[in-house]
Amino acid sequence: MIPRYTRDAMGRIWTDANRFRIWMEIELCAAEAMEAKGMIPAGVGAALRAKAWLPDEKDVAAIAAIEAERQHDVIAFLTHLERRMGPEARYLHMGMTSSDVLDTCLGAQLDESAGLILEGLDALREAVSKQAQKHKRTLMVGRTHGIHAEPITFGLVLALWYAELDRQRTRIEAARKSVAVGKLSGAVGTFAHLPPEIEASVCAKLGLAPEPIANQVVQRDRHAEWFSALANLGASIEKMAVNLRHMQRTEVGEAAEAFGKGQRGSSAMPHKKNPIASENLTGVARLLRSHAGAAFENVALWHERDISHSSVERVIAPDACILADYALARMTRLIEGLVVDEARMRANLDMSRGLVFSQRVLLALVQAGVEREAAYGWVQRNALACWEQGGVFLDRLLADEEIREVMDEASLRSCFDFGELFDGVEQLFGRVFG
């Protein structure tokens, strides 16, 4: 992923140097476990551990140079270890295949990435929760099909987002468990040259679960679940972003992204304040969905494995984790700094001159003994007159002779009260926030 979208902690997980560090740790843990089981001479594991180091960019370059000749990344890595560690290094990789290292390393990287993503998701949930509590009773119009429907509060919008983010957290946790596995079962997964105890020991030290059964690779349905969870998370972030983009439209003006001192909105038009974060996050969500699609293509490998998945994962594994981490942080900043225009929300609610209470009037007429079909027609004709000719909805209802025969003025006016809405808000907040 390009540096523009890479945050430091997540970026470090996916560096070549860190990947080689994990590979070395897998090899050293395996050697120590083999020594404990008497498979290699006593003292070899300790000797190798004593010669271990943290790989850096010099190591990355040296391994790349060997790979250019050998045309195999794991062999290049092992050759580099032999050159630096000496004779004891011949006991590394005993009974193992390349995928034992690669897939176990990928499991460790995804597990660590998941920890950061969950931290970011918790920060976003907290930001949304605070804004929801602040705007619990901030009235605004609810829209369906883009048209005014009924009154809601901005707090309800945010509470809905919070509940969805809770579900996303559950999905991320489940997907993390699915991919946080390792395997050291050999070339086709039969443990023919290495007993299961070695795998168990290495995985335990890395904080991974052993894959119950593998062929040469950990099965890619696990990884498809992970990338699907990230795409789903991205979809929720996009939903929030798209709605905030609409709210910032000049004609709506209900909420806007914070605009910093010295910030510029357009190279041509000095007046512009654009929803750049929301639009950026919409694009990020598209990338996350595309990575999920690629991950599903990786599930169907030939026989005990092929490497058609390898090139895909070298791109999507770091990119998807980095993008998800970035998206969570950017949306959190957006929500924390969100500028809410409560007066504009109320003005937009009042724009339809009371039409948003049409269902309340319909229900009141039914309760007064009017057949529903007739009541609907009475309310609709007054509502359409407001749309087409203007005027205030309540005034038209008060002037409608058929309606006035069954409802007095006080009863009609009571239909235009927000009290029942706020009662519902309290119940819904109780469900969401406890």
CATH number at residue 160: 1.20.200.10
Residue that terminates a domain, selected from 324, 346, 368:
346
Query: Do 142 and 66 belong to one domain?
Result: no
pLDDT in single tens digits along all 434 residues of the chain: 789 999 999 999 999 999 999 999 999 999 999 999 999 999 999 999 999 999 999 999 999 999 999 999 999 999 999 999 999 999 999 999 999 999 999 999 999 999 999 999 999 999 999 999 999 999 999 999 999 999 999 999 999 999 999 999 999 999 999 999 999 999 999 999 999 999 999 999 999 999 999 999 999 999 999 999 999 999 999 999 999 999 999 999 999 999 988 888 888 998 989 999 999 999 999 999 999 999 999 999 999 999 999 999 999 999 999 999 999 999 999 999 999 999 999 999 999 999 999 999 999 999 999 999 999 999 999 999 999 999 999 999 999 999 999 999 999 999 999 988 999 999 999 999 99
Q: What is the pLDDT of residue 1?
A: 77
Residues 118 and 11 in one domain: no
Domain count, the chain: 3
Whether residues 51 and 102 share a domain: the answer is no
Distances in Å between the alpha carbon of 60 and those of 15, 56, 112, 189, 208?
10, 6, 21, 29, 26
Same domain, 241 and 334: yes
| 218 and 283 co-located in one domain | yes
Q: Is residue 275 part of a domain?
A: yes
Which residues fall within 8 angstroms of residue 122, CB to CB, at 6 or more apart? 169
What are the catalytic residues? 145, 266
Asked if residue 163 belongs to a domain, the reply is yes
Distance CA 393, CA 386 (A): 6
Whether 434 maps to a domain, the answer reads no
Query: Within a domain: residue 190?
Result: yes
**Residues 103, 198 share a domain:** yes
Q: What integer pLDDT is reported at residue 267 of this predicted model?
A: 87
Assess if residue 61 is contained within a domain.
yes
Evaluate whether residue 210 is within a structural domain: yes
pTM reported for the whole predicted model: 0.95
Given this model, what pLDDT does residue 419 score? 87
Beta-sheet pairing, 209-210 with 181-182:
parallel
Q: How many whole angstroms separate alpha carbon 62 and alpha carbon 73?
A: 12
- Residue-number span of the structural domain to which 64 is assigned: 3-91
Residue 407: Cβ-neighbour burial (10 angstroms; 0-12, 13-18, 19+): buried
Q: Are 234 and 296 members of one domain?
A: yes
DSSP 267-319: SS-TT----HHHHHHHHHHHHHHHHHHHHHHTS--STT--SHHHHHHHHHHHH
Q: Do residues 35 and 163 both lie within one domain?
A: no
- Written as one letter, the residue type at 329 is A
Amino acid residing at 316: I
Q: Are residues 276 and 340 in the same domain?
A: yes
pLDDT value, residue 152:
97
Whether 274 and 266 have beta carbons less than 8 Å apart is answered as yes
CATH number of 371's domain: 1.10.40.30
**263, part of any domain:** no
> Domain check: are 111 and 196 in the same one?
yes
Query: Do 23 and 133 belong together in one domain?
Result: no
